[in-house]
Amino acid sequence: AQSVTQLDSQVPVFEEAPVELRCNYSSSVSVYLFWYVQYPNQGLQLLLKYLSGSTLVKGINGFEAEFNKSQTSFHLRKPSVHISDTAEYFCAVSPYGQNFVFGPGTRLSVLP
């Protein structure tokens, strides 16, 4: 079985500062990795995904994530956040072709 840990339930950061949201996973098989964003009162939207190839993945809105197989991590980063990045962020894993397992989420609050 797979599991996903997001170590920080809440991350406050000032506008224009860098941010890293941490994600670690556990799986006995190879997985695909995803980050989704949920803005208030909306559904989830895909930020980026790692399927294969380069371990550094770039997504929408200036976000990027790096897959580290030895540490089973897929941390999300942005060099300079905006107020509009305030949202909840979910890390998810999917064993090849199988159902997704989501982490508990990290609430990012960008302060002026």
Partner 1 sequence: NAGVTQTPKFRVLKTGQSMTLLCAQDMNHEYMYWYRQDPGMGLRLIHYSVGEGTTAKGEVPDGYNVSRLKKQNFLLGLESAAPSQTSVYFCASRYARVNEQYFGPGTRLTVT
Q: Residue 97 in 3-state DSSP? A: coil
CA atoms within 13 Å, Cβ hemisphere of 15:
5
Q: 């993945």: which residue's tokens?
A: 57
Number of residues near partner 1 (by CB under 8 A): 22
Assess 104 for contact with partner 1 (CB under 8 A).
yes
Q: C-beta of 99: minimal distance to partner 1 in Å?
A: 6
85 phi/psi in degrees, rounded to 5: -80, -5
Nearest Cα to 102, choosing from 52, 38, 56, 39? 38
Binding-site member from 29, 54, 99, 112 for partner 1 (CB under 8 A):
99
Binding-site member from 26, 45, 68, 84 for partner 1 (CB under 8 A):
45
Assess 90 for contact with partner 1 (CB under 8 A).
yes
Q: 């224009």: which residue's tokens?
A: 16
Q: What residues line the site for partner 1 (CB under 8 A)?
A: 4, 9, 32, 34, 36, 41-46, 49, 51, 90, 94, 97, 99-100, 102-105
